[in-house]
């Protein structure tokens, strides 16, 4: 599990290239781990040209809405503005699973407000929170 901790006041969008570099999903059978996800669902913060070109170069399908200012700039440029990026609103509705997962973590006050000054301590809180949630789900299994 990779937990990348950035400054508390910075957004999560600049960390996308770092997370993609650290992505490694082991396979059940033989073979090297996967380093490319099937799809990336993101909010409007991930709609930057740099992010889209990085994801396109790695062959990652995206479901990212286009912000109103980018739509207006594309339309203002006319035919040289290019076509709008593909967007599947039905698939985008599945993004709420990730958002709810983050909201569960925010129920822990120290984790949500980031009282810890060191990144390693904050990472430990993230891992501990995930373990506690996982154990609570296992308790219900027969």
Whether 119 and 5 have beta carbons less than 8 Å apart is answered as yes
pLDDT in tens, 44-72: 888 888 999 999 999 999 999 999 998 89
Give the whole-angstrom CA distance, residue 138 versus residue 125: 20
Query: Of all helices (H) and strands (E), which one includes residue 102?
Result: helix 96-105
Are both 66 and 12 inside the same structural domain? yes
User: Average model confidence (pLDDT) for the chain?
Assistant: 83
Are both 71 and 44 inside the same structural domain? yes
User: According to the model, what pLDDT value does residue 55 have?
Assistant: 92
Could you tell me the residue range of the domain that residue 131 belongs to? 106-142
Whether 98 is in a domain gets the answer no
Are both 113 and 87 inside the same structural domain? no
Whether 101 is in a domain gets the answer no
Are both 82 and 32 inside the same structural domain? yes
Split into its structural domains, the chain has a count of 2
pLDDT in tens, 83-110: 888 888 898 888 887 778 777 777 877 7
Q: pTM for this structure?
A: 0.70
Are both 70 and 119 inside the same structural domain? no
Q: How far is CA 73 from CA 68, 69, 70, 76, in A?
A: 9, 6, 5, 5
What residues contact residue 73 under an 8 Å CB cut-off, 6+ apart? 81
Whether 121 and 110 have beta carbons less than 8 Å apart is answered as no
């Amino acid at each position: 599990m990779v937990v990348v901790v950035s400054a508390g006041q910075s957004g999560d969008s600049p960390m996308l290239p770092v997370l993609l570099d650290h992505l490694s999903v082991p396979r059940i059978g033989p073979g090297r781990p996967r380093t490319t996800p099937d799809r990336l669902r993101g909010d409007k913060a991930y709609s930057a040209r740099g992010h889209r070109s990085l994801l396109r170069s790695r062959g990652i399908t995206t479901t990212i809405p286009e912000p109103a200012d980018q739509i207006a700039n594309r339309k203002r440029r006319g035919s040289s503005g290019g076509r709008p990026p593909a967007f599947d609103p039905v698939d985008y509705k599945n993004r709420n699973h990730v958002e709810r997962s983050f909201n569960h973590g925010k129920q822990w006050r120290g984790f949500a407000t980031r009282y810890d000054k060191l990144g390693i301590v904050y990472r430990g809180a993230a891992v501990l929170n995930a373990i506690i949630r996982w154990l609570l789900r296992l308790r219900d299994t027969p």
